[in-house]
C-alpha cells in the first residue's frame, strides 16, 4: 500500500508557488509519482500536480479514462504548453485543492505540450477536449495558478468569503 499525500487546499500559500524543473528522474521521483497517483485515485480526481501535495517540482499525473474502464495513468515531468488555440468554456470545472466549488472556465480548445515521461523520454502531446482542459488546469498549478484565478471576480470573491467563514468557524470549534 502506497502512502497517500495530503492535498493542500485554498488558501494555502504553497499553491501559489511556481514549480522547479525536475533535474534528475530517480527513485525518489518515482516514489513521488506513485504516491501522487494513489492520492489522485483515492480523492477521486482526474489530475494532480505535485504542488498540490506540497512538492514544488514540475510533475503532473492524470487519468481521463472512464471510471468503468481500466485505469490509464499518465505522467508528465516538466510539461510546457508550446502551442494553444481555439477557445472553449469548460463547464463545471473543479479542483481537489479548491473544494466545494465548480465553475465555468475559459480554456483553449487545443494544446500542444512538450514534456518527459516518468522514464525521462521526451513526449509531445497534441490534446483537445477533456485532455486539453486537464493539461491546462494541471500545468496552471505548476505555475502557481488556481482555476479560481480564471473565473469571474464575483464568483472568486464569493468563494473566498465562504472559505474565510469556514476557517473562522473551525477556529472557534478548536478554541
Return mean pLDDT, the chain. 94
Q: CA nearest 133: which of 97, 92, 75, 96?
A: 92
In the DSSP assignment, the letter for residue 43 is T
CB of 46 closer than 8 Å to CB of 52: no
Of 27, 91, 138, 171, the active-site residue reads 138
Flag whether 91 is in a domain.
Answer: yes
> 84: how many CB neighbours lie within 10 A of its CB?
17
**Catalytic status, residue 69:** no
CB of 47 closer than 8 Å to CB of 40: yes
Could you report the per-residue pLDDT of 21-50, keeping only the tens digit for each? 999 999 999 999 999 999 999 999 999 999
Say how many domains are in the chain.
Answer: 1
Q: What is the CATH number of the domain that holds 46?
A: 3.90.45.10
Alpha carbon distances (Å) from 8 to 15, 51, 55, 57, 168: 7, 8, 10, 15, 18
Flag whether 26 is in a domain.
Answer: yes
Distance between CA atoms of residues 77 and 26, nearest Å: 12
Flag whether 87 is in a domain.
Answer: yes
Q: How much is the pLDDT for 171?
A: 87
Could you report the per-residue pLDDT of 55-68, keeping only the tens digit for each? 999 999 999 999 88
Q: How much is the pLDDT for 16?
A: 96
Could you report the per-residue pLDDT of 121-159, keeping only the tens digit for each? 999 999 998 999 999 999 999 999 999 999 989 999 999
Flag whether 45 is in a domain.
Answer: yes
Q: How much is the pLDDT for 135?
A: 97
Q: How much is the pLDDT for 92?
A: 87
Burial 127-145 (b: 16+ CB within 10 A, else e): beeebbbbbbbbbbbbebb
Flag whether 41 is in a domain.
Answer: yes
Flag whether 7 is in a domain.
Answer: no
Q: Is the pLDDT of residue 175 over 80?
A: no
Range of the domain at 81: 13-174
Flag whether 2 is in a domain.
Answer: no
Q: Is 61 helix (H, G, I), strand (E, B) or coil?
A: strand
Amino acid at each position: 500500500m502506497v502512502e497517500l499525500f495530503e492535498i493542500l487546499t485554498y488558501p494555502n500559500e504553497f499553491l501559489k508557488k511556481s514549480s522547479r524543473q525536475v533535474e534528475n528522474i530517480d527513485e525518489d521521483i518515482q516514489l513521488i509519482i506513485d504516491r501522487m497517483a494513489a492520492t489522485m485515485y483515492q480523492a477521486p480526481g482526474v489530475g494532480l500536480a505535485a504542488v498540490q501535495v506540497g512538492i514544488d517540482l514540475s510533475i503532473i499525473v492524470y487519468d481521463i479514462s472512464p471510471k468503468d474502464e481500466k485505469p490509464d495513468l499518465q505522467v508528465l515531468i516538466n510539461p510546457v504548453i508550446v502551442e494553444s488555440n481555439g477557445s472553449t468554456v469548460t463547464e463545471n470545472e473543479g479542483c481537489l485543492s479548491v473544494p466545494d466549488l465548480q465553475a465555468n472556465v475559459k480554456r483553449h480548445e487545443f494544446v500542444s505540450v512538450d514534456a518527459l515521461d516518468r522514464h525521462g523520454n521526451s513526449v509531445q502531446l497534441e490534446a483537445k477536449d477533456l485532455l486539453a482542459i486537464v493539461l491546462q488546469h494541471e500545468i496552471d498549478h505548476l505555475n502557481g495558478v488556481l482555476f479560481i484565478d480564471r473565473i469571474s471576480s464575483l464568483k472568486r470573491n464569493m468563494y473566498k468569503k465562504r472559505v474565510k467563514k469556514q476557517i473562522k468557524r473551525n477556529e472557534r470549534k478548536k478554541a
